[in-house]
Amino acid sequence: MYKWFLATRYLCTKLIAFFGVASVMLCVAMVLVVLSVMGGFLDTVRARSRGLHSELILDSGTLQGFPYYEEFGEYLKENFPDLVTVTTPVIYSYGIFRVPATNWTKPARVIGIRMKDYVKVNDFEKGLHYEHYYPGTTHLGLQAQPIAGIDEQGHVRLPPDLEEANRRWRAHETDPKRIADFDKSPFEVAEWPRITARTVGERVYAADLGPPRYEGDRLYGIIVGCELLNERRPDGNFNRYVARGAQVALTLLPLSRKGTTTGEPPVRVPLRYVDDSRTGIFEIDSTSVYVDFDMVQEALAMNAQERLDGTMTRPRANQLLIGLVPGADLYASKEKIADAWLSFRASILDDLDDDDATALSFAEIQTWEDLQRPFIAAVEKEKVLVTFLFTIISMVAIVLVGCIFYMIVEKKTKDIGLLKALGASGRGVGGLFILYAGAVGVVGTILGTVLGAVVVWNINEIQDFLASLSPQLRVWSPDVYSFDRIPNTVKPWDVIGIAVTAVAASTLGSLIPAWVAARVWPIQALRYE
């Protein structure tokens, strides 16, 4: 009983104990902030990476691709109707993206998709800018350029289908602030004769003094990575300089089934810029463009080609995305689909020539985690390294608690002598100081958890305040990171782990002083009293 009484009394009355509480509090808060931010960063990367792919992918890892993707997709739907919901092929290549009106030219990673099926297996549609405000208007098929103009009431309007799409967005939008922000600047106009030559804004359309309409040749659409064509602002949004529907060009280099150039000159494909995509991964948003699968397949000579003997080659793709039913076990499904792929490949082996057999041998079933593992693993290692470094720094709390309690033991020698003279055992005296240290650890942990959680929950506001004092104090800039805001989620298991570790570390720091106190002899302590 005396141990609890004295531990509580010392904690409340001895000023020096508050230095121990402060050290534990600051260490707990520091580790919690680091672990929450890095953990949130990792979770965001994983979520964004998952949003790029389907659950399973048949991937060749080569530019020339592989045949029989359509047949295998049908094979899966027939044999696994309770597991596979949709399959869709994808083409990956490289090309040169150019905006003729501005001579803006950059290398690009070209991704050919069947958009209707592609958006069913991942989160691609969620990152489309114009599709958000004008739902149902972004597609990769043939289309002309929308031109804003003057309606009968004298207002600047877009073509009727775009205005109707925007009304649908308004009817379903639940955030009044988004609607208010949109109404401040519904869209900017570019190429408006005698009014402005070049306009920047979040939504930009071509316009003239005629009625709202579509004009120009009907060309295939292209969706451009937001970092490739636009300028990121400090607030994380983008300035757009190219009007929606403007003509752009993509230059492609066809490859043969062997992966060599076909000998044909590069193919220049005129396209219309219809939207921009924001996946949240800078490496993707700064290089990728998305075009119609069938169009790019033909441009790259990956469609069926006639051989010299009059027979036809098989069309090729680089990936087959495989969507699973909700709740399906990812790795168990991978094993089933991988076995199905081997069985399917064996069933057509006699029909394959050498080139097709080689191409199919490269293709294998992977999960979305397998494809993104190098990137995710790098972030995981960063999290472990940073957490380890800050944990080592926090170990100073053990040393500090040890020093503080050693000073308390030296100062309380008389009290220790009296306790032992009254019958307290050495184990009891040592337990008193261990309990005292545990109390210091508990109080410091509670205060540190509160402080750390408050900092994490308000970390973006804290950064904005510091940046208002000096731009140099902005440590998380959307210009550098793909995420607009610092992750600010505190996980309960992180709090529990840090709390247990902090109390244990505080208790550990008191072991040597407690051992010294336990060895004090009453006669030595009270000799001169």
Q: What 3-state class would DSSP assign to 39?
A: helix
Question: pLDDT band at residue 194, thresholds of 50, 70 and 90?
Answer: very low
Average pLDDT over residues 400-427: 60
Q: What tens digit of pLDDT does each residue of 340-360 get?
A: 999 999 888 888 888 888 888
In sequence order, what are the beta bridge partners of 225?
277
pLDDT for 13-57, tens place per residue? 555 667 778 888 888 888 888 888 888 888 877 777 777 788 899
Give percent of the chain with pLDDT exceeding 90.
27
The tokens for 238 are 């983008």
Confidence grade of residue 196 (pLDDT, cut at 50, 70, 90) = very low
Confidence of residue 11 (pLDDT cuts 50, 70, 90): very low
Q: How far apart are CA 223 and CA 271, in angstroms?
A: 10
Cα–Cα dist 452/491, whole Å: 12
494 falls in which pLDDT band (50, 70, 90)?
Answer: confident
Please classify residue 197 by burial: count the beta carbons closer than 10 Å to its beta carbon, then call 0-12 exposed, 13-18 middle and 19+ buried: exposed
Angstrom distance (rounded) from CA 81 to CA 235: 46
- Over residues 234-255, the pLDDT tens digits come to 666 788 888 899 999 999 988 8
pLDDT band per the 50, 70, 90 thresholds, residue 411:
low
16-20, 256-260, 283-287, 415-419: range with lowest mean pLDDT: 415-419
Tokens of 174: 């639940």
Mention every residue, 6+ apart, whose C-beta is less than 8 A from residue 326: none
CA torsion 215→216→218→223, rounded to 10°?
-90
Is 401:514 a contact under the CB 8 Å cutoff?
A: no
* pLDDT for the residue 51: 76
Mark out the alpha helices in 266-321 (DSSP H runs). Answer: 282-285, 293-299
Higher pLDDT, 34 or 200: 34
Question: Domain map of the chain by residue range?
Answer: 2-48+374-526, 96-309
**β-strand 267-277 against 204-207: which pairing, if any?**
unpaired
pLDDT tens string 85-126: 999 999 999 999 998 877 889 999 999 999 999 999 988 998
pTM given for the model: 0.77
> How buried is residue 19: exposed, middle or buried, by Cβ count under 10 Å (0-12/13-18/19+)?
middle
Question: Is pLDDT above 80 for 5?
Answer: no
DSSP secondary structure string for all residues of 110-165: EEEE-HHHHHHHSSGGGGBHHHHHSTT---SSEEEEEEEEE-TTS-EE--HHHHHH
Which one is predicted more confidently, 232 or 367? Answer: 367
Q: What is the helix (H) or strand (E) element at residue 35, kind and residue range? A: helix 15-50
Amino acid letter for position 392: I
What does the mean pLDDT of the chain come to?
A: 81
What percent of the chain lies above the pLDDT cut of 70?
83
Look at residue 374 and tell me whether its pLDDT is greater than 80. no
Residue 239's closest CA among 188, 283, 281? 188
Which residues, 6 or more positions from 237, have their beta carbon under 8 angstroms from its beta carbon? 202
Instruction: Provide the b/e sequence for 470-509 (b: ≥16 CB within 10 Å).
Output: eeeebebebeeebbeebbbebeeebbeebbebbbebbbbb
Q: Would you state the structure tokens that stand for residue 54, as one six-digit string?
A: 């389907």
The H or E element spanning position 182 is helix 176-184
| 373 pLDDT more than 90 | no
Answer for the pair 7, 432: CB distance below 8 angstroms, yes or no. yes
